[in-house]
Amino acid sequence: MIPQPKKIKRTEGTAPQGSLAEERICPGLGGEEYRISISREGIYLSGSGETGLFYARTTLEQLRMMHGEELPCMEIEDWPDYSYRSFQIDCARHYFSVEELKKMIRMAAEFKLNYFHWHISDDQGWRIECKRYPGLHEIGSVRQGDHFGTCRSDEKYGGYYSRREVGEIVDYCGKFGIEVVPEIDMPGHVTAILAAYPELSCLGEPVEVGRKAGIFKELFCAGKEETFVFIENLLDDMLELFPGKYFHIGGDEAPKERWRGCPCCQKRMEEEGLRNAQELQGYFCNRIASYLQSRGRTPIVWNEAVYGGNLNKGVAVQLWTEDKDNQIRAHLDKGGTAILAMVDHCYCDYPYGMHSLKDMYDLETAPAEFGEHGAESVLGAECLVWTEFIRENDRLEELCWPRFAALAEVGWCGRKRPSYEDFRERLSAVFGLFEKYGIHATKIEGWDPDEEAAARQTAQFQMNFSEEERMEARMAQEDI
Ligand code: ACM
Ligand code: ZN
């Protein structure tokens, strides 16, 4: 079974063939906790509500897959270690249909993942119908071609989700205890927004929706008051669509060149007593975060947003890079929280030869550098797929599965997870689930490529970046 239940007690005998499970509401159990009792009398599932019962059903489904009709008698008691077990899909670089997303969500639900981080805006596309600012979906959702490494086309590329479709995804997730966490990345990764509303950048000059991968220079201007008015109106519009607790506001990869050269941004720094551009980013994030908090939401940001040292402690920080200079630790010491999504473990856009199934499984959920107190502030972990180089559904699926299942177990079992070898065996026993849900998962021989295969896959992946792009990326990184 994946994730491995906390307690399994085997008892004598098997359940009567063809038994249907009887479901019971047990108010004393935690929201995600469940029990399964399989005895000679029958099969009983308990949970305090729909989510617990759904988890009990998924575990039972896996047991049936392993044992067929001869279900051995046992008692299972189970609950998760971490409350935040998330999967992210980037629908900005490439658009994936509602049908495909539902397939991915259904599969994730089977492994008890409970947050869908939906990356809906980036330099290369804005993907949601917006009532207040229709230029976003009319202009921001279309680019003049794909120049993503070896993934190239000169045809116009576009697509967005209608408000009705967003509701369909949110409701579909809700059926399986999954909350949608939308991400509108800012102040960087906003070129598609600026293509429709260029007056919001520092230069105010026209830009086109991005066609290639990489880090883009244009940011939201943090000096102009109009920027904040726009973002707040936009958030009001998006909050109608996304009712969940968390809202991701990005904050990664924002090179500060434009801010340094902008009189409005410089004036803002002076007025607010901000000593450098990092602190200006902290100020920017805090303003947006406060707006969300005033509407009862919890904002999430990428870890670059803590570099200024002035981030509001109520913001959850999602780590994808190392905790440079102990800045995350300082945020946690102030009472902040963290979500783990380390690039070397959790990023499924890289081939298995670069980030293997074992790498995902070996994610450290209580990093020593956080200290004891900090480790307690970890909400959970996330697996991710960025899609610059992924256009096809089958490719998306084979890169994500079964790596997403490994993260699901990391989040559920925490530090006390079984050995990786044990995980592989259990995964093999339920591999039929991928077929059942129509998912094109990577088969066992591809999970942990040997050195030669890894070198081949790495070389192939590296072909996506020219020398010039590598250089540009390095320079942009230095200014983040
Ligand atoms: C990221 O990968 N830029 C969060
Ligand atoms: Zn500016």
**Bond prior to 3 in cis (omega within 30° of 0):** yes
Residue 247, pLDDT score: 98
Whole-number Å distance between alpha carbons of 186 and 203 = 16
pLDDT tens for each residue of 208-226:
999 999 999 999 999 999 9
Token reading at 356: 């293997």
Judged against a pLDDT cut of 90, whether residue 133 lies above it is answered with yes
Residue 380, pLDDT score: 98
Interval 319-335 mean pLDDT: 92
Residue 375, pLDDT score: 83
Proximal ligand: closest to the CA of 187: 2
Q: What angle do CA 214, 219, 225 make, to 5 degrees?
A: 165
Judged against a pLDDT cut of 90, whether residue 422 lies above it is answered with yes
Proximal ligand: closest to the CA of 263: 2
Taking CA atoms, 65 is separated from 6, 56, 61, 69, in Å, by: 20, 14, 6, 9
Whole-number Å distance between alpha carbons of 83 and 16 = 35
Judged against a pLDDT cut of 90, whether residue 454 lies above it is answered with yes
Query: Residues with beta carbon < 5 A to ion ligand 2?
Result: 202, 221, 223, 262, 264-265
> What spacing in Å lies between the alpha carbon of 316 and ligand 2's midpoint?
26
Judged against a pLDDT cut of 90, whether residue 169 lies above it is answered with yes
DSSP state string for 363-375: --SS-GGGHHHHH
pLDDT band at 369 (very low <50, low <70, confident <90, very high): confident
Whole-number Å distance between alpha carbons of 165 and 344 = 33
**Nearest residue by C-alpha to atom 1 in ligand 1:** 252
> What spacing in Å lies between the alpha carbon of 317 and ligand 1's midpoint?
13
**Beta-strand relationship, 337-340 and 378-385:** parallel
**What percent of the chain lies above the pLDDT cut of 70?**
100
Segment (H or E) for 68: none
Token reading at 357: 């199934």
Residue 151, pLDDT score: 84
Residue 74, pLDDT score: 98
Q: Ligand 1 pocket test: pick from 122, 386, 388 the residue with the most ligand atoms within 8 Å of its Cβ.
A: 386
Judged against a pLDDT cut of 90, whether residue 325 lies above it is answered with no
Q: 0.85 cut: is pTM over it?
A: yes
**Nearest residue by C-alpha to atom 4 in ligand 1:** 252
Which phi and psi angles does 437 have, rounded to 5°?
Answer: -95, 10
Name residues contacting ligand 1 (CB within 6 A).
252-253, 302, 320
**What percent of the chain lies above the pLDDT cut of 90?**
92
Judged against a pLDDT cut of 90, whether residue 324 lies above it is answered with no
> What spacing in Å lies between the alpha carbon of 415 and ligand 1's midpoint?
25
pLDDT tens for each residue of 222-233:
999 999 999 999
- Atom nearest to 386 CA in ligand 1: 2
**Nearest residue by C-alpha to atom 3 in ligand 1:** 252
> What spacing in Å lies between the alpha carbon of 283 and ligand 2's midpoint?
13
Which has more pLDDT, 469 or 159?
159
Which phi and psi angles does 424 have, rounded to 5°?
Answer: -60, -40
Residue 116, pLDDT score: 99
Residue 368, pLDDT score: 87
- Atom nearest to 253 CA in ligand 1: 3
| Residues paired with 380 in a beta bridge | 84, 339
Residue 77, pLDDT score: 98
Interval 420-425 mean pLDDT: 98
| Average confidence score pLDDT of the chain | 97
Residue 58, pLDDT score: 98
pLDDT tens for each residue of 242-300:
999 999 999 999 999 999 999 999 999 999 999 999 999 999 999 999 999 999 999 99
pLDDT tens for each residue of 373-410:
788 899 999 999 999 999 999 999 999 999 999 999 99
Judged against a pLDDT cut of 90, whether residue 61 lies above it is answered with yes
> What spacing in Å lies between the alpha carbon of 386 and ligand 1's midpoint?
8
> What spacing in Å lies between the alpha carbon of 255 and ligand 1's midpoint?
13
pLDDT band at 361 (very low <50, low <70, confident <90, very high): very high
pLDDT tens for each residue of 341-350:
999 999 999 9
